[in-house]
Each structure stands twice: as structure tokens, then as C-alpha cells.
A and B are shown apart, each in its own frame.
Chain A
Amino acid sequence: MKADRHIMGLFKSEDQVVAAISGLKNSPYTFRRVNSPFPSPKIMAALKLKKSPVGWFTLAGGMIGFLAGFSLAIYSTIQWHLVVGGKPVVGLIPFVIVGFEAAIAFSVFGNVIGLLIMARLPSDRWLKYYDPRCSGEYFGVLASCEMDQIDGLQDFFRQQGGEVKVFN
């Protein structure tokens, strides 16, 4: 049977959340996610999360930016055909500054785009199984179960010391 009921356990401490996560692993219930008011290193460690790939977007942005900045400076200079003071038209050293600034700008754009794509934002779908207390003083552990396991999952969260919220 398909898991079709979502239940959230609301806890006041990180340690309770860590215990609930490890308890869920050895249970018939399906762990969905944790909502927390701040990034908790304890919870992150308990979830054994992989490193985020956002950095690849940042790196790609930086490389594109450096090339774009450098190319723009070179292109705009070679449009000016009059050599002044015998200096080279394409002055590589000053263009490093333009390339550097553009590299930083595009790295940050890449970083933001990567963050939005990976975190799937903006989207209201995150709000579907969510309790507003999770942005305040509670940590929410969301799990799903089959219809006949609802009571069991609620009891599990209560045993871990949490409050329970059942979603329709």
C-alpha cells in the first residue's frame, strides 16, 4: 500500500530530533524531512547529508565571469583604433581587474542560481507539510506512513518527547 499520511513530530531540542531520526530509520515509517529554525550541525550530522553541489554553479559562474570580463575589456578596446602614447591597445594588466571583478560578480550569480535550483526555490510546495512553529522554537520531523500506521507513528513521536501534528 502507498504511504499516504504525513505526520510531523515537533521537538524543542536538537537531541530529541537526532533520536527521532535514528528511531525512524529502524521503523516501518518513512522519514521525509526535518524543518528547523537554524542550520543545526547535530541534525545535519545525524542525517549524513552529502556536500551540496552549489559550489559547482559558483565555479562555473566564476569562470564564465572572468572570461566575459576579460573579453569585454579586450573587445571594447580594440574598437578604438587610435593608439595613444605608444601604449599597447590591449593592456592585459589593467584588464585583470575587470576580469577579476566580473569573475566575482558571476560567481555570486552562479551561487544564487545554484542555491535556488538546488533548494528548489521559489516554490510553495515546501509549505504543504509545514508547521509555522518550525521557524520559531520548534524542530519538525516529518514522516509518512500508511493509513493503518497513523496511531503507531503518533505514539513514536510522543515517546521521543515531541508534540504531534497530523496533515490531511
Chain B
Amino acid sequence: MAQLTYAQIDQSILDSLSPPKKGYWSVVAGLLLGVLVGAACWVYQIFVGIGTGGQNNPVAWGTYRINFVFWVGIAYSGTLVSATLHLLRAGWRNPIARAAETMTVFAVCIAGLFALVQLGRVWQVYYLIPIPTQRMLWPNFISPSMFDVIAVSTYLAVSSLFWYTGLLPDLAAVRDRTTGRRHEIFRLLSMGWTGAHEQWRHYTRGYLFFAALATPLVISAHSVVSWDFSLGVVPGWHTTILAPYFVAGAIHSGLAMVVTLMIPLRRIFNYQKIITLEVLENIAKTIVLTGLIVGFAYGSEYFIAWYSHDIVEMETFRWFAMGQYRWEFYIMALGNSLFPMLFVFRKIRRSITLLFIICLLVNLGMWFERFVIIVGGVAHGFSPYAWGLYAPTLIEYGIMLGSFCLFFFLFLLFVKHLPSVSMTEMKETLIQGAVNHES
């Protein structure tokens, strides 16, 4: 990055905001179609009933919960990457922080949508909101579901504000380089930011507090999601390791999603000098670490099941690996623990194609991890009489397709309308690089 100048950084990032070509709009239109398919499936479910999904006894939580946890996991790691690495002064975070934060905001919105889809009678969502009514019924804050409501809504508010605060100096930079209606829009969005030293004095302090608050929030919020399961007396769920296991898994999947988004982004917008191979390599190294933690968690579960001599626990974990969902289990274990270990080889983590493929496999593995936990636990519980299998229906597949299309649709709109890399932080990286070089 040392060879770039301030002007080149501005130019290459502002070039990404130039009017898009037809190819861009056709991809956006395709994704919008996917969103509409998802929306149509949801509308159908609202009219017909939640029974149109495959959830039934004993598996009451299917793909809706799986996708909720999956998107929440993706969301939590974005802020964690941005905030924690900011606190650790890791300069390689700067080129990816904006995309990671944006990914967070969109992913947590989609996770929230799944919480609504899962309700079935979505209009009754007000039962979850602590408001005084004539019914005299208040939400029960001892329930982990209410922890979720508080944690996820807090997370949405915090990550959106964190994202917007980080964006503020760049909105001003775009304002200063546009004319007409775009200038007016960015003038309003930038709120009069000019980079005056008094503004920076408060901004840097405020941003530091943001990062310091976001880090424990992420850890607590994903722990809260894990308690949806671990507070239930279900074999495979009722374990204290689930909270750190979920947090590590969230970082693991989020880092993989960041790479999945960054590789096409650097190719399309010629960001090779900004999102360098070294940045991607550092993410790959971090994925090795998170992969080891996730692998250790998988191993610990088996060890505890054996060590406890609890026959139900032992049977549950035997069934995970050898039962009807064994292929899902193998995708989970290989995708999350084995394939990421290939990044210990420099050649593999410096190959863009392999990096992309392995990160896709991690994403797939993380989705199936949630499948194994959420479906597997209750499908093969305490009573053999109540065992049963679950498979998603077309409606569920449609809604799932819609969610993925919505995520990429929003992300595509973002990269063409707002700076997808922080110009301010890139300039800071340049200075840090120069100082390091001099020293």
C-alpha cells in the first residue's frame, strides 16, 4: 500500500461510484427476482399457515432458525472484525472494515426477518415488545427468546450507528467531489463534516468507545443466541461450551464471508492495490485460528459426551456422526475444521481461487453446523418414541433463496452508491505504513 498516494486512494474508491453498466443492473435485477420469490413464499406462508414449512414434532425449529443463527453469526463477526482489530491497531483491517461493517448491518436485518418468518403469525410480534397494554401481559425476561430480542435489537442499533459513524468522513469526501442532486444528498448525509481538528478530536474518542463497546456486545449477543439452545434441556444443546463455540463459529463464518465478498469486489473495482493479497492472507491466517477453536469445540463435545457416561448424550453424538444426518455432519466438520487448515500452506492462502473456494466451503460448513445442532438435537432426543426427521419444504427453500438474494442485492446496491472502502482509514494506513517504513 506504500506506493499509493492520497489522490490515488480517493480516485480508485470514488471510481467505484461511477454510473454502473448494464451488467450490474442485470445482476441486480436477477437478485431482486430472487428476493421477490422469497417474499412470495413468505406471503403464501402467512396466508396458509406455518405448516407450509417442514417444521413439525419433534423438530419445531427448521431452516428459519438455522438461517436466523447463520445470518446472526455472519453479522456478529463483521463488527468484531472491525471493532476488535481497531482496538488492536491492526492496520490490515482498514481495507476490509467498511465491507465487514456493511455485511453486519445487512446480515442482522436478514436475521431479524427470519425471526419474524418463524413467528408464523407475524402480526403478533408486539407480544415481544415491552409495551403497556390492556392485556396486562408483559414479555418474560427470564426467557432466552427475550434475551434474543434485546440482544439482536441492541446489536442492530449499535452496528448501524457504528457503520454510519465510520462512514461520516467519507460521505463528506464524496460530497466534496459530486455535483447536483448527488451533492445535495451527500451534503445532508455528511451533516456538515469538514474534518476540522475539533471534529476529529471528538470523533476519534467516540469511535474508540464505539469499538470498545461493540466488542463485548458481539461476544455477549452471540452467547445469548447460543443460550436459546443451551438453556433447553435437550441432548446436544444443554452444554456450557455452546456460548464460546457459537462466538468462535460466528467469527469463523464472518471472516469467510468477508473473503467471499472481498475477492469479487477487488476484481470488479480494481482494488488490488487497496485490498492486497497480504490483507486476504491475514484473514486466512485468522480463519486457521478460528477453525482450530471450532474444531476444538467439536472435539470437546464428543469428549464431554464420553466422559459424562450419559447414555443419551453419547447416543446423540454417535447419531450426529453416524445417523441420518451424517452427511450434514461431515460437511460441517470438514468445511469448518479440516479445509481451513489448508491455509497453513502459504501457497494455498495466496491463491485467490483456492482462498475463495475454501471460504465458500467454510460458509457451507457453518450453515450445516447450525443444521446439525438445531435439527439434530431435537430429532433424536430423550425418548425414542419421539424421534423424527425433518426436511425443508419448497416454501422454506424459497424463503432461504430470498434471504441470500436480499443480502447480495443490498450489498451490490451499497458498493455502487457508497464508498465500499474507507478512504479515511486507508489514508491513515498509508501514514502508519510510512512511519513504520521510516522507523
Contacts and interface: CB of A to CB of B under 8 A. Distances in A.
Q: Which 7 A-B pairs have the closest CB atoms?
A: A132-B176, A122-B191, A76-B138, A137-B6, A52-B205, A73-B141, A115-B206
Interface in B135-158: 136-142, 146-147, 150-151, 154, 157-158
A102 interface: yes
Contacts of A127: 192, 194
A33 interface: yes
A72 interface: yes
Given A79-B138, A122-B191, A38 B201 contact: no
Contacts of B173: 37, 135-136
Contacts of A49: 197, 201
Interface string A1-39: 000000000000010000000000000000001111111
Contact of B197 (A34, A58, A101, A115): A34
Nearest to B426: A38
A87 B142 CA distance: 11
A121 B6 contact: no
Contact of A126 (B146, B199, B217): B199
Interface string A100-119: 11101101110110110011
B7 A137 contact: yes
Contact of A52 (B6, B157, B202, B217): B202
A134 interface: yes
A130 interface: yes
Contacts of A121: 191-193, 199
A97 interface: yes
A118 B201 CA distance: 9
B211 to A, nearest CB: 11
25 contacts: A38-B169, A39-B203, A39-B204, A47-B197, A52-B204, A55-B205, A72-B141, A76-B139, A76-B140, A98-B146, A101-B221, A102-B154, A108-B162, A111-B213, A112-B161, A112-B165, A112-B206, A115-B203, A121-B192, A121-B199, A122-B191, A125-B192, A132-B176, A134-B195, A135-B173
B330 interface: no
B431 interface: yes
Contacts of B6: 37, 136-137
Q: Which of B150, B165, B177, B206 has the most chain A CB within a 10 Å cutoff?
A: B206
B209 interface: yes
A79 B139 contact: no
Report the contact-size class of chain A (Cβ under 8 Å from the partner). Answer: 35 or more
B202 A119 contact: yes
A91 interface: yes
A77 interface: yes
A87 B210 CA distance: 37
Contacts of B147: 94, 97-98, 101
A54 B423 CA distance: 24
B141 A76 contact: yes
Contact of B213 (A14, A43, A107, A126): A107
B196 A72 contact: no
B103 to A, nearest CB: 19
A124 B192 contact: yes
Contacts of B203: 39, 115, 119
Interface string B372-399: 0000000000000000000000000000
Given A72-B141, A104-B158, 10 more contacts: A37-B6, A38-B169, A98-B146, A112-B161, A112-B165, A114-B206, A120-B198, A121-B191, A126-B194, A134-B195
